[in-house]
Amino acid sequence: MPPFPKKWLIVLLVLGFGIPLLNPLMPDVVSSYRLFLVSTMIIAAIAVLGLNLLTGFNGQISLGHGAFYAVGAYAAAILMDQYDVPYYATLPIAAVICFVVGYLFGQPALKLEGHYLALATFALALSVPQILKYKWLEGITGGVQGIVLSKPEPPFGLPLSEDQWLYYYCFIVMVILFWISHNILNSRSGRAMMAIRDYPIAADTMGINLRLYKTVTFGISAAITGIAGALSASAIAFVAPDSFNIFLSIKFLIGLVVGGIGSLAGCVVGGIFYVLVDNSAQALSTFIKNDLGLQFDLSAYTVFGILLIALMYMMPMGIVGGVYAAMRSLRRGSKGPAPSERPAVAASKPAASRQGH
Amino acid sequence: MKKTNRRTFVAGVSAAALLTSRSVAFAQKKYDDGASDTEIKIGHTNPYSGPASSYGVIGKTLQAYWKSVNEAGGINGRKINFISLDDGYSPPKTVECIRQLVEQDKVLCTFNTLGTPCNTAIHKYMNSKKVPQLYVATGASKWGDPKHFPWTMGFQPDYHTEGVIYAKHLLANVKDPKIAVIMQNDDYGKDYWEGFKEGLGKDASKVVKHVTYETTDPTVDSQVIQLKDSGANVFFVIAIPKFAAQAMRKAGDIGWKPTIYLNNVSASVASAMKPAGFENVQGVMTAAYLMDPTDKQWDSHPDMKTWVDWMKKHNPGGSLSDASNVFAYAVATLMHETLKKCGDNLTRENLMRQAANFQKWKLPLALPGITVSTSPTDFYPIQAVQLARFKGETWELFGDIMHAESS
């Protein structure tokens, strides 16, 4: 993965912090609703980041990250509802709970590879809504009724609206989590994770403890997705088993594949993509029906499907991978291959061939 | 500031007088967001995709209804702009859709948003924004709470009340009851079950067996066998049509002949009674409030005739045997009437005032004698049901219309 250019990162951070402040000045352009929508995109991006650490960087496929998202959301909701824990304090607790759940689930997952692991995680995602409804847990989970919460209030008397504060809350958490992930991936452990993905036997021979790395990665991945779940509990101010159906896990996977497997920037793109498509699919469907006169009932998933097929043909490495490839070929066309580009291309090759499976 | 001389003072006063007199003349025309001289915007969420997409027919019939209203000239000269969004029965998505409707599209109110969890997710939001959340499509009992949620109103008789009615009828009519219950394991099932237990009161111990099923189960055969083995002589079925039919058929097949109470949700002749086998469902009792389109006794009723004509003309894709289409039509006419009563005062406050001001209004397609009544303290539009017994191939209404106050 080529590193994200630093100056662009700073520009994006400044924009991310600055634009919401325009909310009172331009209420139509930077509306509260749009801030809320961007907050949900940020939450989605964090969830996809969790999945990416596991699938993109460690090569373990999960179809069940919605389960960890649900655990995080319920952990936060129960803490706020039953124990009056302030909303910001629920994040680390939810992260720890999800880490433990993910670590434990990682143990049996060690014995499963590829498609089998995907199926096992799929089963996990299917069972979580049922477990939440289970009568022994009903006392704390609220059963099918779910738990109604309050929205986070801006702290220290900051002159921010609820939606502005929610945005900043999510944005700050996202920046911290991406910074942590970036540091993990560029450390010895990160290189070990990727070595396991690319050449497990070689990694084992080099003395990397596969068992430890795989389970801990599972735990970290679950923790990050769990934090996203906890944020969503605050943002929506309501949790119910129906919020965490199997389609949620599938959407994370779509976000991952579309954004770019094994790319941190891809997580953000993926999160934005799936929220956007989910929101505009119906408008597109009505447009096709009323304005083009075609009698098709397009659901969001149909649009997802068509876009996915198209993307797989045009950008098999996801949007971010595709953009990098386009930039590279552009540069090569104008100046010839820059010497610093070459190792990056070579390094991403084996990863690309592995992810083809 | 410039000193005010006499002339400007007089001019100012007369201008003010003119302005106030104008506003008096037009005092009747008042608008909030979403209403204007030409248009009324109404928001709606409904699952058109995902696991609960079978409810999509309700949304489609509602859209057809407002289209037909617009073709006939609208309401008080205003066209209805009905914006229906797909929430896939996922509460977080409902929140997104509703915020889009309220903040971007600026609707006057929402109407018939579907699903208990979905409505729960937006309950607080709608009330803090003071946007009417009218006639929600769920039978939970929490929608009629004007003290805490003055902007939310339900529509149908709640499941809780219906459960109470079955329990009371059973205690009065069945000697030495031993009760078996099958229940769908979700909020809808639990609402019925809580009401039923409340109705039994101290006799709750007469429930000898209580089993549940999930909508993902292939059949409920094993549950019914368990229930028969409990030796029960009363069978209360809290199930959607597919499973209700299975349960009653299985009971007949294994020679179990209890007194059966069937929840209204599954009272459809076409989708529950016929598949269960008419020989197995003779004497089954249910509580109804709307006419069943497959029930032949209504064929010549004027309401039913109007509905059939309307369906053929404006909703040709819709099924004439689907009770959901009757439901959607009935609730849309109530909304239609509410907006008509608002006249030119289309503020959110007035909309709620009119919604809470129905006195025995005759709802099309409601059973004869069942009417809509609301007041500032009563946010349950329909609270009456009538018991019906299955005979031959149709339901036969019996007894009085029963009014029950819940919660």
Taking only the tens place, the pLDDT of each residue in B53-101 is 778 889 999 999 999 999 999 999 899 999 999 888 888 889 989 999 9
Contact B83, B101 (CB under 8 A): yes
The dihedral over CA atoms of B98, B103, B108, B113, expressed in degrees to the nearest 10, equals 0
Count of C-beta atoms within a 10 Å radius of residue A166: 27
CA distance B39 to chain A (A): 20
* Among the listed residues A117, A132, A110, the one whose alpha carbon sits nearest the alpha carbon of residue A51: A117
Residue with structure tokens 């409707």?
Answer: B101
Chain A residue at shortest CA distance from B53? A299
Residue with structure tokens 């704390």?
Answer: A140
Domain boundaries, chain A: 24-355
Query: Could you tell me the pLDDT band of residue B310, with boundaries at 50, 70 and 90?
Result: very high
**Cβ-based contacts of A143 with chain B (< 8 Å):** 187, 190
* Among the listed residues B177, B168, B179, B182, the one whose alpha carbon sits nearest the alpha carbon of residue B211: B182
Size of interface A-B (CB pairs under 8 A): 82
Domain B159-288+387-403 sits in CATH at: 3.40.50.2300
The single-letter code of the amino acid at B362 is K
- Model-wide pTM > 0.95: no
The pair of three-digit structure tokens given for residue B169, joined into one six-digit string: 């009828």
Considering only the beta carbons, identify the residue of B88, B90, B185 that sits closest to A133.
B185
Reported as a single tens digit per residue, the pLDDT across B344-398 is 999 999 999 999 999 999 999 999 888 999 999 989 898 888 999 998 888 888 8
The single-letter code of the amino acid at A123 is A
Phi, psi (rounded to 5 degrees) for B151: -110, 10
Query: Could you tell me the pLDDT band of residue B6, with boundaries at 50, 70 and 90?
Result: low
**Cβ-based contacts of B185 with chain A (< 8 Å):** 133, 144
pLDDT score, position A241 = 86
Q: How far apart are CA A21 and CA A164, in angstroms?
A: 8
CB contact under 8 A, B117 and A236: no
The single-letter code of the amino acid at A67 is A
The CA-atom distances, in angstroms, between B146 and each of A187, B118, B150, B152, B256 are 59, 19, 4, 7, 45
Considering only the beta carbons, identify the residue of B49, B95, B214 that sits closest to A236.
B95
CA distance A243 to chain B (A): 5
Contact A45, A256 (CB under 8 A): no
**Cβ-based contacts of B214 with chain A (< 8 Å):** 130
Which of the two residues, B311 and A300, has the higher pLDDT score? B311
Phi, psi (rounded to 5 degrees) for B81: -105, 100
Q: How far apart are CA B292 and CA B390, in angstroms?
A: 13
The pair of three-digit structure tokens given for residue A138, joined into one six-digit string: 């009903």
pLDDT score, position A346 = 40
Best mutation site among B33, B44, B45, B49 for testing chain A: the one with the most A CBs within 10 Å? B49
- Mean pLDDT for back-to-back runs of 10 residues, chain A (357 residues): 72 84 78 89 94 90 91 93 89 94 87 83 88 78 80 80 89 94 92 90 89 91 95 90 86 88 88 85 74 66 80 84 85 59 42 41
Q: How far apart are CA B226 and CA B211, in angstroms?
A: 8
Best mutation site among A36, A242, A246, A304 for testing chain B: the one with the most B CBs within 10 Å? A242
Contact A33, A188 (CB under 8 A): no
Query: Could you tell me the pLDDT band of residue B136, with boundaries at 50, 70 and 90?
Result: very high
* Among the listed residues B37, B43, B113, B85, the one whose alpha carbon sits nearest the alpha carbon of residue B345: B37
Q: How far apart are CA A250 and CA A260, in angstroms?
A: 15
Phi, psi (rounded to 5 degrees) for B35: -130, 145
The pair of three-digit structure tokens given for residue B134, joined into one six-digit string: 């009218």
Contact B385, B401 (CB under 8 A): yes
**Cβ-based contacts of A301 with chain B (< 8 Å):** 49
Domain boundaries, chain B: 39-157+300-376, 159-288+387-403
Chain A residue at shortest CA distance from B99? A33
The pair of three-digit structure tokens given for residue A299, joined into one six-digit string: 């659901």
**Cβ-based contacts of A133 with chain B (< 8 Å):** 185-186
Answer whether residue B3 shows pLDDT above 80: no
Query: DSSP per residue over A48-77, as a string?
Result: HHHHHHHHHHH----S-HHHHHHHHHHHHH
Contact B204, B174 (CB under 8 A): no
Which is it for strands B133-134 and B109-111: parallel, antiparallel or unpaired?
parallel
The pair of three-digit structure tokens given for residue B404, joined into one six-digit string: 């029950």
Best mutation site among B124, B141, B213 for testing chain A: the one with the most A CBs within 10 Å? B124
CA distance A66 to chain B (A): 13
**Cβ-based contacts of A237 with chain B (< 8 Å):** 121, 124-125
* Among the listed residues B283, B207, B217, the one whose alpha carbon sits nearest the alpha carbon of residue B251: B283
Count of C-beta atoms within a 10 Å radius of residue A12: 13
Residue with structure tokens 């497997």?
Answer: A261
pLDDT score, position B75 = 92
CB contact under 8 A, B103 and A33: yes
Count of C-beta atoms within a 10 Å radius of residue B296: 11
CB contact under 8 A, A148 and B124: yes
Contact B394, B296 (CB under 8 A): yes
Q: How far apart are CA B170 and CA A357, in angstroms?
A: 62
**Cβ-based contacts of B120 with chain A (< 8 Å):** 145-146, 148, 238, 240
Average pLDDT value over all residues in chain B: 87
Handedness of CA B196, B201, B207, B212 (dihedral sign): positive
CA distance B135 to chain A (A): 20
The pair of three-digit structure tokens given for residue A94, joined into one six-digit string: 């939810």
Q: How far apart are CA B357 and CA B355, in angstroms?
A: 5
- At a CB cut-off of 8 Å and minimum separation 6, what does A89 contact? A79
Contact A114, A200 (CB under 8 A): no
Q: How far apart are CA B153 and CA B135, in angstroms?
A: 5
Query: DSSP per residue over A190-229, as a string?
Result: HHHHHHHHH-HHHHHHTT--HHHHHHHHHHHHHHHHHHHH
pLDDT > 90 fraction of chain B, expressed in percent and rounded: 52
Chain A residue at shortest CA distance from B104? A33
CB contact under 8 A, B120 and A31: no
Q: How far apart are CA B96 and CA B66, in angstroms?
A: 24
CA distance A240 to chain B (A): 7
pLDDT score, position A4 = 65
Phi, psi (rounded to 5 degrees) for B215: -65, -15
Which of the two residues, A291 and B121, has the higher pLDDT score? B121
CA distance A193 to chain B (A): 34
Q: Tell me: ipTM over 0.95.
A: no
**Cβ-based contacts of B103 with chain A (< 8 Å):** 31-33
The pair of three-digit structure tokens given for residue B296, joined into one six-digit string: 């032949």
DSSP E strands in B128-206: the ranges are 133-134, 179-184
The pair of three-digit structure tokens given for residue A190, joined into one six-digit string: 């990160």
Instruction: Give the CATH superfamily of B39-157+300-376.
Output: Response regulator (3.40.50.2300)
The CA-atom distances, in angstroms, between B196 and each of A16, A27, A229, B210, B404 are 54, 50, 36, 12, 13
pLDDT score, position A344 = 42
In this structure, CATH architecture of domain A24-355: Orthogonal Bundle (1.10)
Q: How many residues does chain A have?
A: 357
Considering only the beta carbons, identify the residue of A31, A145, A236 that sits closest to B187.
A145
Answer whether residue B173 shows pLDDT above 60: yes
CB contact under 8 A, A245 and B186: no
Top-confidence range, A308-312, B197-201, B400-404: B197-201
pLDDT score, position B302 = 94
CA distance A63 to chain B (A): 17
**Cβ-based contacts of B238 with chain A (< 8 Å):** none
**Cβ-based contacts of A243 with chain B (< 8 Å):** 90-92, 117
Considering only the beta carbons, identify the residue of A232, A236, A282 that sits closest to B86.
A282
3-state secondary structure of B346: strand
Considering only the beta carbons, identify the residue of A148, A232, A301 that sits closest to B92.
A232
Which of the two residues, A235 and B18, has the higher pLDDT score? A235
Considering only the beta carbons, identify the residue of B104, B116, B118 that sits closest to A33.
B104
**Cβ-based contacts of A36 with chain B (< 8 Å):** 96, 99
